[in-house]
Amino acid sequence: MRRGTLSEAPNYTNAALIMGFVNLIWVFMALWAIFGLPAVFAAGYGLNYLITLLGRRR
């Protein structure tokens, strides 16, 4: 093992946000294919509500 100062950890924020968006899109597409567009609207509304609740708690 090397001793000494450690280099800075890479910033994966952008990669995590992009992959989160990609996952959200495919889940919405699967919901749309299985249950129809109203299910996507309901899931989107539910996610928005939960995010708003989290924002209020902080």
DSSP state of 26: H
pLDDT at 1: 60
- If the chain, 58 residues long, is cut into consecutive pieces of 10 residues, what is the mean pLDDT of each piece? 76 96 97 97 97 94
Residues 6+ apart with CB under 8 A from 27: 43
**Which pTM does this prediction carry?**
0.74
Q: Half-sphere exposure (CA, 13 Å, Cβ side) for 41?
A: 3
pLDDT at 55: 95
Instruction: Select from 55, 26, 52, 22 the least CA-distant residue to 40.
Output: 26
